Amino acid sequence: MAGGLREIKARIKSVQNTRQITKAMKMVDAAKLRRAQERAEAARPYAEKMREVVMSIAAGTSGAKHPMLDSRPVKRTGYVVITSDRGLAGGYNANVLRMVSRTIAERHKNQDEYTIFVLGRKGRDFFKKRNYPISEEFVNMSDSPTFASIRNVARGAVQMFADGGIDELYLVYNKFVSAIQQEPTELRLLPLADVEKVEGTPTYDFEPSADEVLADLLPKYAETLIFSALLDAKASEHGARMTAMGNATDNATDMIERYTLFYNRARQAAITQEIAEIVGGASALE
């Protein structure tokens, strides 16, 4: 029985150590979540203003045209998929990867019909293990990513569309709803078809011409959308990990209570047995 008590006590100690780790991780990601939310919110006005200008040119009376605005027969599709480098974030990565896998299986017959631009080690490892075609990858992302750090992937995806290597481009990521809710989202990034001028948008005069301004703005706008989605995904990641670590901490607390109760019962049973043996031995000597 003594050996059994030592084993239970060791389990309690192990779970207590685990609870300390998960509690610390929850607090760290709570702080990171606040910063990530602030960055995501700060980036939105820039993206919205750029969209306003692009829509004004594209839907205006100037007759401005650009290949990124026109739909064409789809022979090959690109997917920009945003995941995390680290795990322990509940279903954060699994939900996005499941959506991508299901979408590809429904839309495409073979690997010649699509390619993937992946951000995050979890996504990279998932696609490589299953032999999905990957055009660009970016791992070891900072918790506070900069546009310069992901420029190659974003620019590579947009340039491939401009060069005709792909005929449409989708963005797949976890949209931040709240700290406990992240929504897997698919957004068609290119082409920017069916644009409409936003009501109340001011009219602009462009130099040297609307066409040249549009040609310069559209690639930057698409890249900005990818970066904005990355900031949103980072907030979702920290929210998902904070929630997962909070649940793990609560579960560890429940386990400690159950193990402690079992330990106390086993210890009481051992004491009772020892007393019974002493009484029985004393009675035998009488």
Whether 196 has a pLDDT exceeding 80, the answer reads no
Q: 60 or 32: which carries more pLDDT confidence?
A: 32
Q: Closest Cα to residue 78, out of 9, 8, 172, 203?
A: 172
pLDDT band at 61 (very low <50, low <70, confident <90, very high): very low
Whether 60 has a pLDDT exceeding 80, the answer reads no
Q: Can you give the pLDDT at residue 67?
A: 73
Whether 1 has a pLDDT exceeding 60, the answer reads no
**Tokens describing residue 106:** 């429904």
Beta-carbon neighbour count of residue 282 at 10 Å? 9
Whether 8 has a pLDDT exceeding 50, the answer reads yes
Q: Closest Cα to residue 29, out of 94, 82, 89?
A: 89
Query: For the segment 10-51, what is each residue's pLDDT rounded down to a tens digit?
Result: 999 999 999 999 999 999 999 999 999 899 888 888 888 887
What is the per-residue DSSP string for 164-184? TS-SEEEEEEEEEEETTEEEE
- Percentage of the chain with pLDDT > 70? 89
How many angstroms separate the CA atoms of 80 and 76, rounded?
A: 14
Q: Can you give the pLDDT at residue 194?
A: 54
How many angstroms separate the CA atoms of 95 and 73, rounded?
A: 30
Q: Can you give the pLDDT at residue 2?
A: 56
Q: What angle do the packed helices 210-285 and 147-162 form, to 10 degrees?
A: 130
pTM: 0.85
Range with the poorest average pLDDT among 22-31, 61-70, 203-212 = 61-70
Q: Can you give the pLDDT at residue 101?
A: 96
Query: For the segment 212-270, what is each residue's pLDDT rounded down to a tens digit?
Result: 777 788 888 888 889 999 999 999 999 999 999 999 999 999 999 999 999 998 888 87
Q: 40-243 architecture in CATH?
A: 3-Layer(aba) Sandwich (3.40)
Whether 208 has a pLDDT exceeding 50, the answer reads yes
Look at the domain 2-26+244-285 and name its fold.
Helix Hairpins (1.10.287)
Range with the poorest average pLDDT among 89-93, 171-175, 229-233, 277-281 = 277-281
Whether 201 has a pLDDT exceeding 80, the answer reads no
| Average pLDDT rounded to a whole number, residues 167-177 | 93
Residue that is written with structure tokens 């073979």 in the block: 110
Beta strand extents in the chain (DSSP E only): 77-82, 114-119, 134-138, 168-178, 181-190
Mean of pLDDT over the chain:
86
Domains of the chain, by residue range, sit at 2-26+244-285, 40-243
Residue 115, φ and ψ in degrees, nearest 5 = -150, 160
